[in-house]
A and B are shown apart, each in its own frame.
Chain A
Amino acid sequence: MADQIYFEDVNVGDEIPKLVKNCTTQQLVMWAAGSGDMYQIHYDKDIAAGNGLPGVIVHGALKNAFLGQLLHDWLGEKGEIKKYNCQYRGMDVPAQDIICRGVITAKRQEDGKSLVDLDIWTEKPDGEKTSPGKATVILPSRG
């Protein structure tokens, strides 16, 4: 974990530290058990092929959870996720980097809280954004 970040430390346009994932098929099976999503296209390549896929694909919700980790690791223990989302626009596959990134788009005060809005997304090594989304987080203020 990095040092605690404060509202005053960040600016619109800043990129937060990226998080790079690279799934094994074992990780996808762990996710199936952990999330309860037992859909076979994520661990059975014959069923994936029968669905017209090149092979097993990474669960969309796992990429959403990666973006949750991206935010959590940046926020530190005094920061808080208020809301985050992503859309599943492109497929990701095992043994290929999934790069999780975020850029600050706004800073604002609401109900006495210091809020930061971000664009967040996962991208492939070639830069294609496969899961674009948005987040709103609460950062501690130095006051």
Chain B
Amino acid sequence: MTEEAIITDEMRAVIGKEAEPLTVEVDKTAIRWFARAVGHTDLVYYDEAYAKGKGHRSIICPPGFLGHAIHTPDKPTNIVGNSVKRPPAIPGLKLMRLLNGGTEFEYYGEDICAGDTLKSVSKIADLRERTGGLGRMLILTTESNFFNAEGKLVATERGTGIMY
């Protein structure tokens, strides 16, 4: 039996195309919630005066936190109820179930602090097929670049999704 390829030319054409930029806000309460959820103990994530005493503009983002996209009720959300960093849609995709395969964060030496507004630009970096325990799978790699108000690249988040 010949299996039909999952990835069509139409799908391949979206690789590398950037989605509409999203505005992402980094605020103090959100940083504190994130830091509490992880269990961070460094006051640099909680106490603004302490963070300023360490040379930061305000409390700073813990690893893995890059703010939240501004949500309004007219915006669609994904399966996890989140409108953050939505990559471009994949035309003709029939696989519906998604597993989170992995995450990478890269930083470029700039502080990302409460009060910052970032621009996030996402794209599908790669599509691959694999056959594994879940049958035929599509391995989707997304990349989101985050730019600060000066237009400087401050962080990159790369995600791997497994669709099956």
Contact = CB atoms under 8 A, between A and B. Distances in A.
A139 interface: no
Contacts of B44: 77
Contact of B81 (A36, A72, A81): A36
Contact of A72 (B30, B40, B79, B82): B40
Of A21, A35, A61, A77, the most chain B CB neighbours within 10 A belong to A35
A34 B65 CA distance: 9
A88 B98 CA distance: 13
A61 B106 contact: no
B107 A88 contact: no
Nearest to A31: B37
B8 interface: no
Interface in A53-70: 60-62, 64-69
Interface in B33-69: 33-42, 44, 54, 62-65, 68
B158 interface: yes
30 contacts: A27-B37, A27-B39, A30-B33, A34-B30, A34-B35, A35-B34, A36-B68, A36-B80, A36-B84, A38-B81, A60-B102, A61-B100, A61-B103, A62-B38, A64-B64, A65-B37, A66-B39, A68-B62, A68-B63, A72-B40, A77-B44, A81-B105, A82-B106, A82-B107, A83-B104, A83-B106, A84-B104, A85-B105, A88-B101, A133-B104
Given A65-B65, A84-B105, 4 more contacts: A35-B65, A68-B62, A68-B105, A81-B105
Interface of A: 1, 21, 27, 30-31, 33-39, 60-62, 64-69, 71-73, 77, 80-88, 133
Interface pairs A-B: 10 shortest CB-CB: A68-B63, A85-B104, A38-B81, A87-B102, A34-B37, A30-B37, A34-B34, A34-B33, A31-B37, A39-B80
